[in-house]
Amino acid sequence: MSGPFHATIHPRSAAVADGPVARFDRGAFPTLLPSTADLASAFSRSFEEVCEALAQLPRMFIEPDGSWVWVSASDQPAWQLDGMLFDRDERLLYVEWKGTCPPESFDRLLAALGWPQTAVMLQLVREAVFLSEAEFRRYAGWAEKA
């Protein structure tokens, strides 16, 4: 497990441009430069569909306003994610989250958003950069998905 993180998850269109390489203590990471239109694109799932999918995760607590907390099982190393769902025109626009979790739990969070069918990109809020999913996994210190 690595982190803690403060990030947002957005759908990634094929039109998102490559950006410069950002250098952090963790290494050098190619970034993305989404346009305003890219950031205005919503997930194909509705706010309600994502809320329902998240509510199915064990130990996930989600409120009707889209705020949520997800915690580890008592027999696992402790982790916690806190987040908020944001929507527009009844579609999920993006997800903000803070905390840390193992990569398998991160996969389950992404799956609730429609991943892997829907490509995603992540914004590191403090660092003010967008990364592809694969680069975020590298930044997090997690092995990339095959």
Q: What does the chain come to in residues?
A: 146
- Residue 12: pLDDT band with limits 50, 70, 90: very high
Using the Cα atoms of residue 17, residue 125, residue 38 and residue 119 in order, give the sign of their dihedral.
positive
Long-range contacts of 62-69 (CB under 8 A, 24+ apart): none
Q: Find, among 53, 55, 57, 11, the residue nearest to 34 by Cα.
A: 11
pLDDT digits (tens, 9 = 90+) for 49-91: 999 999 999 999 999 999 999 999 999 999 999 999 999 998 9
pLDDT digits (tens, 9 = 90+) for 42-60: 999 999 999 999 999 999 9
Instruction: Please say if the pLDDT value at position 143 is more than 80.
Output: no
Tokens, residue 21: 């390489």
Q: How far is CA 29 from CA 23, 118, 125, 139, 144, in A?
A: 6, 22, 15, 7, 14
Tokens, residue 68: 């949520």
What's the predicted TM-score (pTM) here? 0.94
- Residue 97: pLDDT band with limits 50, 70, 90: very high
Nearest-angstrom CA–CA distance, 83 and 96? 5
